[in-house]
């Protein structure tokens, strides 16, 4: 009977560790130029060829940073990186009526984002507008 508990712990660790490693691999990591953001809503218009993504920060520690990017670069050209590592051109805009929320617009078909997806937003250069 004393062996049952250690075996249960080994079994649980064996099942949980690969799942944790997989989740970490699917989680894009930010850098000095990139900040992790989470998709709240996605709307696409095939007629106009535009996709609009409502987003906010992924990590609470980045809340002020994302807010600063949105205030400083409203309407700026930028890039974002999807979980597959591909970079895509976009425009970032601040939603003034929704604290801490931004809009990301890009050509429909250029990238695929869905609700709750994480992407990395590149901070536009200071002169980008």
How many domains does the chain fold into? 1
Within a domain: 18: no
Q: Report the share of the chain in percent with pLDDT over 70.
A: 74
- Residue spans of beta strands (DSSP E) within the chain: 34-45, 50-57, 76-81, 87-94, 102-107, 118-122
Q: What is the pLDDT of residues 38-83, one digit of tens each?
A: 999 999 999 999 999 999 999 999 999 999 999 999 999 999 999 9
Q: How many helices (H) and strands (E) does the chain have?
A: 2, 6
What CA–CA distance (Å, rounded) separates 116 from 111? 15
Q: 């990395």: which residue's tokens?
A: 120
Kindly report the CATH number assigned to the domain that includes residue 89: 2.40.10.190
In a domain, 13, yes or no: no
Residue 93 counted as domain residue = yes
Whether 54 is covered by a domain: the verdict is: yes
Any domain includes 24: no
**Residue 129 located in a structural domain:** no
Q: 47 lies in which domain range?
A: 30-122
């Amino acid at each position: 009977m004393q062996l049952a508990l250690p075996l249960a712990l080994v079994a649980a660790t064996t099942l949980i560790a690969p799942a944790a490693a997989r989740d970490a691999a699917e989680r894009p990591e930010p850098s000095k130029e990139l900040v992790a953001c989470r998709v709240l809503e996605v709307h696409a218009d095939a007629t106009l060829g535009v996709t609009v993504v409502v987003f906010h920060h992924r990590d609470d520690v980045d809340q002020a940073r994302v807010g600063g990017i949105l205030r400083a670069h409203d309407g700026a050209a930028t890039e974002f990186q999807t979980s597959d590592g591909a970079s895509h051109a976009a425009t970032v805009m601040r939603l003034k009526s929704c604290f801490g929320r931004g809009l990301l617009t890009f050509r429909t078909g250029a990238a695929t984002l869905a609700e709750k997806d994480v992407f990395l937003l590149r901070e536009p250069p200071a002169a980008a507008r």
